[in-house]
Amino acid sequence: MLPGLKAGFTLDARLEADSEQLMWLGLCELRLMNDRRWPWLVLVPQRPGVEEIHEMTPLDQAMLTFETNMVAQALKRVTGCTKINTGALGNIVRQLHVHVVARSEGDPGWPGPVWGHGMREPYQRSDIRRFAETIKAAL
Does the pLDDT of residue 40 top 80, yes or no? yes
Distance CA 82, CA 47 (A): 32
- The answer to whether 64 touches 56, Cβ cutoff 8 Å, is yes
Q: Is the pTM of this model over 0.85?
A: yes
- pLDDT category at 4 given cuts 50, 70, 90 is very low
The beta-carbon contacts of 83-86 under 8 Å, at least 24 apart in sequence, are: 85/113, 85/114
pLDDT digits 0-9 by tens, 12-21: 999 999 999 9
* Percent of the chain residues past pLDDT 70, beyond the cut: 95
Nearest to 3 by CA among 19, 20, 27: 27
**Maximum Cα interatomic distance, the chain, rounded to a whole number of Å:** 44
Q: What is the mean pLDDT of the segment spanning 37-65?
A: 97
Extents of the domains making up the chain: 11-136
CATH of domain 11-136: 3.30.428.10
